[in-house]
Structure 1
């Protein structure tokens, strides 16, 4: 049913002044100035509406106080006119841009002792029904004008019949103000629609209530009994009321805003926000739908040898291996290395160096940057202080991609060679100690913490160091080739497409375990808010002195995978909320006030706290506000150590909770149990098991890194709205980092999941704090040092149980 409300012309429209005015006599202005706080502009006319205008700048008060002051002044001026006590008035707001808006249609008012109170409340109710554009607090109003007509003394209508200011349902004790988008709506806090005033028409399918609004205009309320949908004429959104079993009235508007009402008050307000979901990674298939296998390993490796001169590493040997051919160059810049690698036969190859981002890249930067002069375009992906990858492009062709294999396999090359069962692994490093050829000798050998072979004969040494460097390349290649083969056969994924072990784990999860349209993406303001709840593990020292004591040091077996496997996680559509979130059973992350019991010895709710030396993670005592996960809040409240004000919380809640990681964790843990520790698949499963959760909380990247020349840097630095940092690589060559505040690439993250994982882990570890069964000396993310052994029920080799790592006697922790 289409309902149309007959609002009068002019309501909420912009009016241009176009009326003939006659200035009131000066003696009248002088007469009124004795009682009026601010001299108004007064224009009288015998035909049509006269006008009184009050400049907002002349008043020291704002908001409702301003309205009261101006109405008081209006009352005094109208009395001084001696035109009787019956008026017809229109109120208008004038704005800084010169536009004028009418607040209401003409209303009849009686100039008596109730005028100021009734007219004030009338205008407040009018404003409550309008958008925030009319707000006294937020809009730039410069003048409030009253247009009026007076009736002569021959009018014998009684005051109470002349008065239009008697409010209808907007004065009810049950009326509540509801903000719907940019609009304010006052409605009764019940679903007894026939009591909302005036005429009722009812049938089997509908109820129509004719209501007088605060301007004595008729508003039709139509209740469709079949759909339970309610329409209010003149208001854009419909709503539905449902009385819940817990006594709350749930009022849902068509724009997604929901109010939970009880005892005449709004207990909780929620609003659905537009939610996008993380997309699964599709399994590659041919036209017939058959799964396409991943191709051969398209990688290569490089290594660099250096000597230590005056505390600084100086390169002298660069080696490269493509899986069949090995190349070595005794030089100090790597120019011949890149000349070889940029040969067209290696086009599109991914070249790995073990510890590229922290070591090898230092010696390659200058040579890489100089490729600008040869027409190459260099794209650098840098995350915090790590170079993730460097892509070298010429024209439309990707010539080379450099990556750090340590970010994929975070272990030493020597250990990896053993894990992957190489016949020949890392060799003993030959070190030149002879006479002459000083450029190949370190100032000292004290920096070596491993076994070395001292060689005095330069020729012998040179041959051996070349073999040593090339063998490092061969060993790394063989490891990566085996890694590629195992991952390809198990999950049909190409490791060269991923730069880090978390990104590889993320790809496996998305391709084989992630449900569709379930995991919400968190961006912008939502990400920034949720970030406050993502505080990681807890590390605390309570008793450093354990002399004459025995300490039992326990670690949790894979804490994060354990809680990922056992817990339910927030997912589905997201909703913003404000109020008592405890009336819902949904998972939420919100800001709330917290108070510990007095002098809590081992507080366990932690926050990020800004100090002079930067941000610190602390678990405070006393009263404070924090952004917290619902599971952690419930755990703290049930512990008896905290009181948490959930009635005045604000944040985000989620449509549902699901076990999102059980299958992924189960698969990886089963692989660890299936293969012995000596098998590379055991190591791969271990790395993948522990590396997934953090990828969901990856911070957005706003910094772009590149090489450029001095003139380009000068031009860039002069631009507004960007932050520039740089380091000089060579003459007229700079490595530049530009932060323009704009997110680079897709923000494919769900911080709510990462935050929830760490929250569940902290909940698990909190049971060892303030525990009367033992003294807790030290704890970190997944370990405890206590002075008594745990019961056997806690200790087990399975996922999520404790294992005894050490027994310490007479320790200082």
Structure 2
């Protein structure tokens, strides 16, 4: 790969430039254990309970292959020793056993996972804990296990999963039910997970989608690389270019344009049909880094945009709140400001004479790389929808929405620095003497690891992901412009809340299923907008970060349960004890992405950066 620079210092990240490799196989896991646990709650104080194993169910499922028929081996347990005996009985040399639970952190901790893995001589191969995504890969001298959260693929309630596949989740009153009722419910929960994964694998195999990977995003990437990767994508390691790509990579547009109660008129919630797949299908994306330039003229940048994809840091002067600027949070100001933009934003800026100066830009070869992928999965989704196959329709939706983020993926880098067989499992933060540097250490399964950084994954190409989100923001902006100023009150990534006039002006774009068109999701005369992801629409009440079972103390103050993550448990020093605590959440409803007028109308901030 040839990388040229004009007046810009060159340095590289610790990654070898390479061409993204295609997938060759449709390999599926053959040996899987699904399990769930139920617990006693031991009161620690008024707001904290320690969870202790009461009972559980596990099912070992062997998929049919070769001369082996399908097998399901069910097992009831009420001690963690019995559970691990069952697990280890189903491990074998040269065969990786997948162990899956919903909310893996809880169930793995309740059965004392770290303790038993250490006792069996297992060492850590890989550990990931981010939100609901959990992966623990271990092996000893001859056997390998990987523990996975079912929410790595299905971020939904078990009740919704059951409804989707036609198995009703058995609900019980945990405080009053008998042990037999609790056992039946627990087994039912494992059955839902088992049947859901059977269906998932049938979907992947029957439609020749991809092998099953550890996460939804990885599975989507495998599908792309198996059947839809026809243009080579060159993964580069130019640090300055990647830094600019990261600056340009911003999320969806979430804004309030009015705060308060919208009275005396109908309001409508509109959603774009598959916004991200729509912009992925219909636009070219960077495929190969070509050149980085500094201090060029706007005219020179415009010339590059005719044939190249571009990421550029530019000085904007505008009276339109169209460009995403990240300063503490993502906002859309007017005035004069420096911002790093992608191809669609730059083209819009030139069309409206908004670009006054160029600091630095990166040029790429570009191609339409996603059309085949989106066409296949959107057509499949519509076919399954019309046939009433809800479970497969949902899987297609997940595949469509999960791909682009893989190109923007970053991760923690950990290195083993020694053995510590007698040290308890935990995470520590070590502060150096001047307090300016913090070192993160992780003690796990008798080994000591140090976090060396948080950087690009091996196959990341942030410019691709940045272009997807930029095209999406620009498309939403075009819908807002068509609806007309004053006719939209709120937006969130792919949705708008509009009035009757806004709905009427968007009428030509209304369609229930067409890709990129807009569907009406709700009509109501009751709309109260309190802030970002904080509103009431008809009978629907949305308050981000507040659980459904939270207790409201006063207006804007809630007490709710706090369920620790693997990281939280390791930091507590008690990774084999699961304690559900309590936290008080104070909603700060001060709006910080614009100026709020006395009448509730929000106007954008005015910036005045120096030239």
> What TM-score do the two structures reach when normalised by structure 2?
0.72
Alignment of 1:233-244 (within 5 A): none
Q: Does 1:491 align with 2:234?
A: no
Structure 2 alignment gaps of length 5 or more: 62-71, 530-611
Q: Does 1:776 align with 2:488?
A: yes
Q: Does 1:627 align with 2:340?
A: yes
Q: CA deviation at 1:530?
A: 1.0
Q: Does 1:360 align with 2:107?
A: yes
The answer to whether the Cα contact below 8 Å between 1:589 and 1:652 also exists between their aligned partners in 2 is: yes
**2:581 corresponds to which residue?**
none
The answer to whether the Cα contact below 8 Å between 1:573 and 1:654 also exists between their aligned partners in 2 is: yes
**1:282 corresponds to which residue?**
23
Give distance in 2, aligned partners of 1:468 and 1:718. 45
The answer to whether the Cα contact below 8 Å between 2:479 and 2:506 also exists between their aligned partners in 1 is: no
Q: Does 1:651 align with 2:328?
A: no
Give distance in 1, aligned partners of 2:516 and 2:81. 51
Out of 150, 157, 161, the position equivalent to 1:405 is 150
**2:407 corresponds to which residue?**
696
**1:671 corresponds to which residue?**
380
Give distance in 2, aligned partners of 1:577 and 1:675. 48
Out of 98, 107, 129, the position equivalent to 1:350 is 98
Q: CA deviation at 1:711?
A: 5.0
Root-mean-square deviation (CA, aligned residues, Å) is 3.5
**2:77 corresponds to which residue?**
329
The answer to whether the Cα contact below 8 Å between 1:280 and 1:515 also exists between their aligned partners in 2 is: no
Q: CA deviation at 1:549?
A: 2.5
Give distance in 2, aligned partners of 1:360 and 1:712. 20
Alignment of 1:91-130 (within 5 A): none
1:388-421 per-residue CA deviation (whole Å, 9 max, x = no partner) reads: 21123111431x2110111112222232233234
Q: CA deviation at 1:716?
A: 9.6
The answer to whether the Cα contact below 8 Å between 2:22 and 2:226 also exists between their aligned partners in 1 is: yes
Specify whether residues 624 and 710 from structure 1 end up closer, same or farther in structure 2 by C-alpha distance, changes over 3 A only: farther
Q: Structure with the greater relative contact order (CA < 8 A, sep ≥ 6): 1 or 2?
A: 2
Give distance in 2, aligned partners of 1:704 and 1:499. 22
1:158-213 per-residue CA deviation (whole Å, 9 max, x = no partner) reads: xxxxxxxxxxxxxxxxxxxxxxxxxxxxxxxxxxxxxxxxxxxxxxxxxxxxxxxx
Give distance in 1, aligned partners of 2:354 and 2:453. 39
Structure 1 alignment gaps of length 5 or more: 1-254, 260-267, 285-292, 434-454, 456-460, 611-615
Q: Does 1:617 align with 2:358?
A: no
Q: Secondary structure at the match of 1:675?
A: helix
Give distance in 1, aligned partners of 2:129 and 2:174. 35
**2:34 corresponds to which residue?**
301
Specify whether residues 717 and 565 from structure 1 end up closer, same or farther in structure 2 by C-alpha distance, changes over 3 A only: closer
1:723-759 per-residue CA deviation (whole Å, 9 max, x = no partner) reads: 22569x9xxx899773112759x51111111000000
Q: CA deviation at 1:550?
A: 2.1
Specify whether residues 256 and 696 from structure 1 end up closer, same or farther in structure 2 by C-alpha distance, changes over 3 A only: closer
Q: Secondary structure at the match of 1:552?
A: strand
Q: Secondary structure at the match of 2:181?
A: helix
1:595-622 per-residue CA deviation (whole Å, 9 max, x = no partner) reads: 223xx5xx12112213xxxxx2122233
The answer to whether the Cα contact below 8 Å between 1:280 and 1:516 also exists between their aligned partners in 2 is: no
1:687-707 per-residue CA deviation (whole Å, 9 max, x = no partner) reads: 101111111111133246999
Q: Does 1:511 align with 2:231?
A: no
**2:606 corresponds to which residue?**
none
Alignment of 1:123-272 (within 5 A): 257=4
Specify whether residues 432 and 386 from structure 1 end up closer, same or farther in structure 2 by C-alpha distance, changes over 3 A only: closer
Specify whether residues 338 and 380 from structure 1 end up closer, same or farther in structure 2 by C-alpha distance, changes over 3 A only: farther
Out of 288, 312, 316, the position equivalent to 2:49 is 312
Deviates more, 1:710-719 or 1:485-494: 710-719
Bigger radius of gyration: 1
Specify whether residues 386 and 738 from structure 1 end up closer, same or farther in structure 2 by C-alpha distance, changes over 3 A only: farther
**1:537 corresponds to which residue?**
252
Give distance in 2, aligned partners of 1:691 and 1:588. 24
Q: Secondary structure at the match of 1:741?
A: strand
Give distance in 2, aligned partners of 1:623 and 1:710. 59
Q: Secondary structure at the match of 2:253?
A: coil
The answer to whether the Cα contact below 8 Å between 2:161 and 2:192 also exists between their aligned partners in 1 is: no
Q: Secondary structure at the match of 1:812?
A: strand
Q: CA deviation at 1:675?
A: 1.2
Q: CA deviation at 1:355?
A: 2.2
Q: Does 1:589 align with 2:311?
A: yes
